[in-house]
Every structure is written in structure tokens, then in C-alpha cells.
Amino acid sequence: MDVFTTGIITLLAVAAIFYIILFSFIYYWHLKKITYVVVPLIFTFEFFLTGFFIVAIVSIILNYLPVLIRALNF
């Protein structure tokens, strides 16, 4: 498996954990005046945006790490 596939699998696992926590808190949200659609969508968008950037940056760094090591003569 390459680095990108590992990152995607990690992102999906963390997404599953995120949704488990999110849906467990939805039960408690009915006690307050909160929208049930907008708030989870905002949280989901922020989560996947952050996850995408983390996976992309780590993939780029690990992909070009051998080139950087050769360029720095380590």
C-alpha cells in the first residue's frame, strides 16, 4: 500500500469515530435550541477539510522525502 491509500484509510477510520461521537451528541442537542442540519454540516465540512489537508501534506512530504534526503546529501 502506498502512502496515499494509508492516509485515506486513516481518514475514513477517523471519520467513523467522528460520526459516532457526533451522533451520540445529537441526542443531547434536542435539549437546546440548535439546528439539526446546519451544525453537523459545518462540523463535517471542517473535519473533512482538515483531514484532506493533513492527508495531502503528509503524502507530499513522504513522497518527496527521498528526493530531499538525496538533495541534502544525508
What does the pLDDT look like over 21-45, one tens digit per residue?
Answer: 777 777 766 666 566 666 676 777 7
Tell me, what's the pLDDT at 31?
65
Instruction: Determine phi and psi for 73, rounding to 5 degrees.
Output: 60, 50
Mean pLDDT of 52-65: 82
For residue 38, CA distances in Å to 35, 44, 72 come to 6, 10, 48
Cell representation of residue 10: 486513516
Mean pLDDT of 41-68: 80
Tell me, what's the pLDDT at 23?
76
> Is residue 70 pLDDT above 80, yes or no?
yes
Q: What percentage of the chain carries pLDDT values higher than 70?
A: 78
Per the confidence metrics, is the pTM higher than 0.75?
Answer: no
